[in-house]
Amino acid sequence: MNYVQLRRGDCLPAVGVLQKLLNRTGFRLVPDGDFGPRTESAVKEFQRLYRLKADGIVGEKTWPKLAPKDLPIVDCIDVFDPSLYEMEDKDITAAGGNPVVIGGMCGGVEQAVHEIVSVARKTFLLRFHGHGAPGVAGLGFGQGEMGWGEHANIGNQNFNELAPVLTRLRPIFGPYGNIQFMHCSTGQGHNGHLLLHRIAGALGVPVTGALQTQYGGGQYTFQYEGPTFTAIPEGASLADWCHGIPDFPGLSLA
């Protein structure tokens, strides 16, 4: 089962979903998206109940025990850089995922959107893997010059032009839907914050980007390697969004 890896210190929409999932098993966490000591303690207790390694990290073995099958994760990988194929594509496939793979091409963003829309339904997490820079995320042209005319990257300079294409993604999301750009520095600084806010506004879901370099591969295919920034639609806070998402039905641990 494809998964998201979460640990103490993460501050993400996916953590809010995790907290709601833990609450359906009997815990009483305040869903705020902040993976702090109380969330870590709940994860360890859950792991002990299922006879898993109680390390407090939600990953390949813990996530499937918590998450229902109607929380699908969709990965889109820019394999113009062969290393992304060698790492992210193989990691996700080994975990049971079926990533959308986009090579270097003119119009890579439109092709990525087309491929995602064709396979995604009620998506919990849409995760993009590729190269980036502050305010830039490569979707189909991941190496060399990031040319705006190629329509292979999403950035502030071409956002208005690509917005009609991106908005075609709105229907794929379920009630817990969110986006993660696993690119280097995409969320960094004013340009990064601006881009993520623009995408969140266009798609109506939270959008997260990294603030520093992401090397990827192994566990880092499934988690950020450092701090992140998340933009919430309509300027809401992460805690507000987490509070507003639906509770999950109770789960018996018997």
- pLDDT per position as a tens digit, 112-156: 999 999 999 999 999 999 999 999 998 876 444 444 445 789 999
- Confidence (pLDDT) at 170: 98
SS3 250: coil
- Confidence (pLDDT) at 62: 97
- Confidence (pLDDT) at 147: 43
Least confident of 19-23, 104-108, 158-162: 104-108
Which domains, from first to last, does the chain contain? 13-66 (1.10.101.10), 73-241 (3.40.50)
More confident residue, 141 or 235: 235
- Confidence (pLDDT) at 84: 85
Helix (H) or strand (E) holding 180: strand 173-181
- Mean pLDDT value across residues 200-226: 96
Closest CA to 120 of 77, 160, 177: 177
Q: Residues, the chain, total?
A: 254
- Confidence (pLDDT) at 149: 44
More confident residue, 63 or 141: 63
Helix (H) or strand (E) holding 46: helix 37-49
- Confidence (pLDDT) at 151: 79
Please write the tens of the pLDDT for every residue from 74-120: 999 998 778 888 899 999 999 999 999 987 655 789 999 999 999 99
pLDDT above 90 as % of the chain: 83
Query: How many other CB atoms sit within 10 Å of the CB of residue 141?
Result: 26
- Mean pLDDT value across residues 191-208: 98
Q: Which residues contact 197 (CB under 8 A, 6 or more apart)?
A: 207, 231
Least confident of 29-38, 145-154, 205-214: 145-154
CA distance linking residue 158 with residue 41, whole number of Å:
44
Positive or negative: CA dihedral 54, 58, 60, 66: positive
CA distance linking residue 251 with residue 254, whole number of Å:
9
Judge whether 92 and 221 are in contact, CB under 8 Å. yes
- Confidence (pLDDT) at 102: 87
Least confident of 34-43, 64-73, 82-91: 82-91
Does residue 221 have a pLDDT over 70?
yes
**Average pLDDT taken over every residue of the chain:** 92
Residue 58 DSSP label = B
pTM above 0.75, yes or no: yes
